[in-house]
Structure 1
Amino acid sequence: MLVRDVMKSPVLTVGPEATLEEAYKLLLERGIRHLPVVEEGRLVGIVTDRDIRLATSHLNPKGPCPGCTRVGEVMTREVVTAHPLDPVEEAARVMRERKIGCLPVLEDEALVGIVTGIDLLDALLRLTGVTEPSGRLEVRLPDRPGELARLTGFLAGRGVNIHSLLSYPEGREFVRAVVRVNTLETHLLAEALRREGFDVLWPPKKPW
């Protein structure tokens, strides 16, 4: 799954000469938290609801117009961006490492979209198949060639269709495979897997 599959487009933007009051009204009206700042078709910054709240809290409320401060005065100028063909997991890694809530998406220096943390959560739901009727299996496999194929081969032999399969390392010796399958009878399937020597973590063994 790529950034282009989950990004929002077209993007609501604001100019650097807009006031904080105008920007904040846009954020409230659209129910969003981030506004890319564009000048003459070029991305020059980004402003968030938090930026606006912090900026206005430091202004004198008895001043002439606290909300009349320009967006260009408080926006973040060094914007971290993504490309439409970036994998979603790479976008998630960048956002986590930089501790930011969104990535404007540029293609040939043109702003073509924006991806947020919520978009990445939606992507995770789609990748795991949880949005479709399915059953869930979680199996611990030895980290060696052929083990994942053995698992999928077993499921195929029982006529079970795999909706999604994610795996991640557990230490240096094992891999956990999280599988979404086209059956809700996962307890029966889990018991059959255990009889074949698989270490099934979910669903757990029934007490009887």
Structure 2
Amino acid sequence: MLVRDVMRRPVLTVDERATLRSAYQVMQDHHIRHLPVTRAGKLVGIVTDRDIRLAVSPLAEGGPRHLEAAVGSIMSQPVLSADPLDPVEEAARLMRRRKIGALPVLEGEELVGIVTGIDLLDALVILTGVEKPSGRLEVRLPDRPGELGRLTQFLGREGINIHSLLTYPDDPKTVRAVLRVGTPMTHQVAEMLRIEGFNVIWPPQKKG
């Protein structure tokens, strides 16, 4: 999945000369928290509702700004951005590393979208297939070639459709495979996998 698949467009922007009051009103009216800031139509910064609240607070460094102050006086710059063809996980990694809540999306110098933390959560929901009627399996596999294929081939032979499949490192020698499968009867599937020798983490084995 790419950034272009989850970014929001068209993008609301604010000119750097706009007042803090007007920028905050735009955010309130459109229920957003981030506004790219432009100069002559080009991206030069970004401002958030939190930036404005802090700027006008009595606790602001150097004293509170007036609501008629220009957005350009408090915007974050230079602004980090994403490309429409960036993988969503790369955008998520950048946002996490830099502790920011949104990335404007640039195609060349043209602002074509914005991706936020909520958009990345939406991407996670889509990638995991959780909104489809399905069941969840989690299996610990040895981290070596062929193990994931062995799991998917077994499910295929049993006529079990896989809606989504994600893997992540568990420890230096194993990985966990998290699957959404086309049946709610995951306890039965899990027992079949255990009989086949797979280490099933979820659903847990029934007692008794």
Q: Same fold, TM exceeding 0.5? A: yes
Aligned to 1:86: 86
Aligned to 1:172: 172
**Does residue 1:149 correspond to 2:178, yes or no?**
no
**Does residue 1:132 correspond to 2:140, yes or no?**
no
Q: Percent identity?
A: 66
Letter in 1 for 2:180: R
Give the SS at the match of 1:113. Answer: strand
User: Structure 1 residue runs of 4+, over 3 Å off?
Assistant: none
Letter in 1 for 2:176: R
Compute the displacement of 1:190 (Å). 0.2
CA distance in 2, matches of 1:59, 1:175: 48
Compute the displacement of 1:52 (Å). 0.3
- Structure 1 unaligned segments of length 5 or more: list them: none
CA distance in 1, matches of 2:15, 2:32: 17
CA distance in 2, matches of 1:77, 1:97: 17
**Does residue 1:183 correspond to 2:178, yes or no?**
no
**Does residue 1:40 correspond to 2:40, yes or no?**
yes
Compute the displacement of 1:23 (Å). 0.4
Taking structure 1 as reference, are residues 38 and 78 closer, same or farther at Cα in structure 2, changes over 3 Å only?
same
Aligned to 2:122: 122
What value does the CA root-mean-square deviation take over the aligned residues?
1.4
Taking structure 1 as reference, are residues 199 and 59 closer, same or farther at Cα in structure 2, changes over 3 Å only?
closer
Taking structure 1 as reference, are residues 59 and 154 closer, same or farther at Cα in structure 2, changes over 3 Å only?
closer
| TM-score normalised by length of structure 1 | 0.96
Aligned to 1:195: 195
Compute the displacement of 1:59 (Å). 8.6
Give the SS at the match of 1:67. Answer: coil
After superposition, give the CA deviation of every residue in 1:84-138 in whole Å (9 maximum; x if it has no partner): 0000000000000000000000001100000000000000000000011100000
Aligned to 1:73: 73
Taking structure 1 as reference, are residues 168 and 59 closer, same or farther at Cα in structure 2, changes over 3 Å only?
closer
Report if the CA contact (8 A) 1:128-1:164 is conserved. yes
Letter in 2 for 1:49: D
CA distance in 2, matches of 1:91, 1:150: 32
Compute the displacement of 1:58 (Å). 4.0
Give the SS at the match of 2:15. Answer: coil
CA distance in 1, matches of 2:138, 2:47: 42
Compute the displacement of 1:77 (Å). 1.6
Letter in 1 for 2:140: R
